[in-house]
Amino acid sequence: MSTESIVALNPGFGAAQSQRRPDPRRITAIASGKGGVGKTWLAITLAHAMAKAGKRVLLFDGDLGLANVDIQLGLMPEQDLGGVIASGTDLGAAVTHVGATGFDVVAGKSGSGALSSLTRQEVSALRQGVIELSPRYDQVIVDIGAGIDSTQLILASTGGRVLVVATDEPTSLTDAYAFIKVAGRLVPRPDLQVVVNMASSKAEGERTYATLKRACESFLKFSPPLAGIIRRDNKVKDAIRYQTPFLVRHPHADAAGDVEALAASLLKPSS
């Protein structure tokens, strides 16, 4: 696959579809230093919560090679990211509307060797394609893969907000710190914020955040703000098992309320 075919993903249809210019501030990357912290579930549920709030939302599955947004949503899109890259067609061709949630998805392709082996230049072109899509939406959520490889860092560096998801597990905190450390060096003035997921209580979540914050302050001289705390909820596993959006299957669960509160906070106009 040539770089030119990836660059062709930048459709320029932002101008055709909307008078708005690309605005990285509409883009929120969901990142984590470690896998298994509920990052993709949070990306899906946050996108859904924003859509319920009346926003036009796109969820881009940027977990290249291990994409599973479509699996968690029970989608079988006619086209996915792997297909448009292979064919060199417009990125917009991979946009699928999820009727049950009201938001759009660009699904990845789980286990795709082609996606996991993209060069830095190709990933950068893909990131630019997402930025070019942003005028069509009020919010764009980018679910990037876990870790601090160049692919994750490139997709996180859209110029928009980056939410770093962590749990109270020591390895999760260590890896979240590592992500913040590396991203803080490579991403110009990143808007890095922390989301504590799977907290046994709000108080426990605050303690987890305080631990990470102290490490950042001590060694990085930087204090990433807390974006939100999502409580542990066994209903999350149930929704994933049944491939049903969490806010559809368990709209009144504790975790549902926490994500909707996070969405409301993120959508609040900055002063």
Q: Are strands 95-98 and 226-231 parallel, antiparallel or unpaired?
A: unpaired
> For residue 31, which of 71, 63, 73 has the smallest C-alpha distance?
63
User: What is the Cα–Cα distance from 48 to 29, expressed in whole angstroms?
Assistant: 15
Confidence at 11, pLDDT banded by 50, 70, 90 = very low
The pLDDT of 149-155, averaged and rounded, is 90
Question: Which pLDDT value is given to residue 12?
Answer: 40
Q: What is the distance between the alpha carbons of residues 125 and 7, in angstroms, rounded to a whole number?
A: 5
Query: Above 50 in pLDDT, residue 4?
Result: no
Instruction: Kindly tell me if the per-residue pLDDT of 6 is higher than 50.
Output: no
The conformational region for residue 137 under phi > 0 = left, psi -120 to 50 = alpha, else beta, is beta
Burial readout 57-88 (b: 16 or more C-beta within 10 A, e: otherwise) = bbbbbbbbbbbbbbbbbeeebebbbbbbbeee
Contacts of 236 (CB under 8 A, 6+ apart): 38, 41, 246, 253, 255
CB proximity list for 121: less than 8 A, separation 6 or greater: 3, 6
Lowest-confidence pick of 101-105, 128-132, 253-257: 128-132
How confident is the model at residue 14, as a pLDDT?
39
Set out the domains of the chain in order of their start, with CATH numbers.
24-265 (3.40.50.300)
Half-sphere exposure of 111 (CA within 13 A, CB side): 1
Burial of 225: CB neighbours in 10 Å, binned 0-12, 13-18, 19+: exposed
- The dihedral built from the CA positions of residue 58, 21, 83 and 146, taken in this order, carries a sign that is negative
Distance CA 223, CA 201 (A): 22
The secondary structure of 9-67, three-state, reads: CCCCHHHHHCCCCCCHHHEEEEECCCCCCCHHHHHHHHHHHHHHCCCCEEEEEECCCCC
Distance between CA 231 and CA 18 in Å, rounded?
Answer: 38
> Bigger pLDDT: 122 or 9?
122
71 touches 243 (CB < 8 A): yes
Q: Which residue has the higher pLDDT, 17 or 238?
A: 238
Residue 189's pLDDT is what?
A: 60
Q: Which of 115-124, 199-208, 212-221 has the lowest mean pLDDT?
A: 115-124
Tokens 């703000």 -> residue:
225
Q: What is the residue-averaged pLDDT of the chain? A: 87
Cα(134)–Cα(138) distance, integer angstroms: 8
